[in-house]
Amino acid sequence: MDKLIIEGGARLKGEVNISGSKNASLPIMAAALLSDEPCVIKNVPDLRDMHLMLKILRALGAEAEFDKGKVTICAKKLKSYTAPYNLVSKMRASFCVLGPLVGRLKKARVSLPGGCIIGVRPVDLHLKGLQRLNVAVSVSGGYVNASVKDLKGGSIYLGGEFGSSVLATANVMMAAVLAKGKTLIENAACEPEVADLANFLNKMGAKITGQGSPNIEIEGVRSLGGAEHKVIPDRIEAGTFIMASIITRGSIVIKGAVYQHLSVLIDKLEEAGVTVEKNDGYIYTKSSRNKFKPVNITTLPYPGFPTDMQAQFMSLMSVTPGVSVVTEKIYPDRFMHVAELNRMGAHIQKEGPHAIISGVKALSGAPVMASDLRASAALVLAGLVAKGRTEISRIYHLDRGYELIEAKLQKLGARIWREKE
């Protein structure tokens, strides 16, 4: 098992290329199950989660290969409708094979998912959505069992206790493209990753409109063909590097990111006194020597502040003078990083779904442990600005979501490297 070592204090400068979106790639790869023709997906990041999804697709009988950012999938001869526990339990996003299996084979047996420990994330919206498409659903032995004779379009409301669900929207959309008649998904997730999936499905021959809005309409078709698609850039990776630039008082050119996907984050950073500029498709960050101001944030479904940037923003506020409050409304238990940041000298108090942060002058390097993907990123940011050496263990979480993160940071001047535990 590896750990990351960071000698803090370096001001980051230079350019960084943003990889393709992890959260867009995974459901798009699953969607290839809907066709018996080859699909080519480009700009796929080389991450552990991608290779795990390839294993799941192969277990179902698909031919799936990865080569330098390009994934080729042919699901002509599926041999199984069961996505096994030993694979699905390692990554929550793998649950999105449920919709394509139901659409293509009219039956599915998919293990209840695993992934980062960031609080309870039920699958009730996934099941509710499929039931509205005439699918019989049951849960037994840790598996979701789904079967249907004729998929029928319907009106589906996907609002949950904490808002819309990205994966539930994806699962229902992928099943509905092969249903008879029209399907309307109300309170659909508006995330760019959902829109990217819809665009890929349309290239395959689906008839989807309204993607990127709360109301998605799907006119069912009899079959889908193969398609070629380039995945959108990873907005969370882009946001993390923007934060790395700011927390180190550096200046980074972010290449390949979509500015509009980061608007709420940029708005909050400007409120804190940071300058973020867009020019010729690049994003520039300028961190003045002036003191930053504390800012309150509340995580919400897109286009609100992303829960996947909450931990990284907390690292910045930890070294920002004054008091700021982070309110987590997507996953109220997503505060595992608080204790680790406090080990580094931060002053953060958790009160239910709120974290109250009193900014300190400096953080100190310390041995810390990553609990989940975005908490790992938050600890990296804290280590970059901390005095002394920080050792982050359990970085396999980090490898699930950031392609070559230490290499990219090294190129920007960070003193960071990987060692065996």
Verify whether residue 116 is a known catalytic residue.
yes
pLDDT at position 392 over 50: yes
Query: Which neighbouring-strand residues pair with 288?
Result: none
The pLDDT tens digits of the residues spanning 236-254 come to 999 999 999 999 999 999 9
Dihedral-angle region of residue 383 (phi above 0 means left; psi in -120 to 50 means alpha; beta otherwise): alpha
Which residue in 74, 96, 116, 190 is the catalytic one? 116
Please provide the CATH number assigned to the domain covering 2-19+233-420: 3.65.10.10
Question: How far is the C-alpha of 52 from the C-alpha of 93, rounded, in Å?
Answer: 10
Question: How far is the C-alpha of 26 from the C-alpha of 22, rounded, in Å?
Answer: 6
- Amino acid 115: pLDDT: 45
Cβ pair 107, 147 in contact under 8 A: yes
Tell whether omega for the bond before 294 is within 30 degrees of 0, i.e. cis: no
The token pair at 408 is 């990219």
Answer whether CATH 3.65.10.10 is correct for domain 22-230: yes
- Amino acid 210: pLDDT: 98
pLDDT at position 275 over 50: yes
pLDDT level of residue 160 (50, 70, 90 thresholds): confident
Cβ pair 244, 56 in contact under 8 A: no
Q: Give domain limits for the chain.
A: 2-19+233-420, 22-230
Same fold, 2-19+233-420 and 22-230: yes
pLDDT at position 119 over 80: no
**pTM value?**
0.95
| Secondary element (H or E) of residue 340 | helix 337-343
pLDDT level of residue 290 (50, 70, 90 thresholds): low
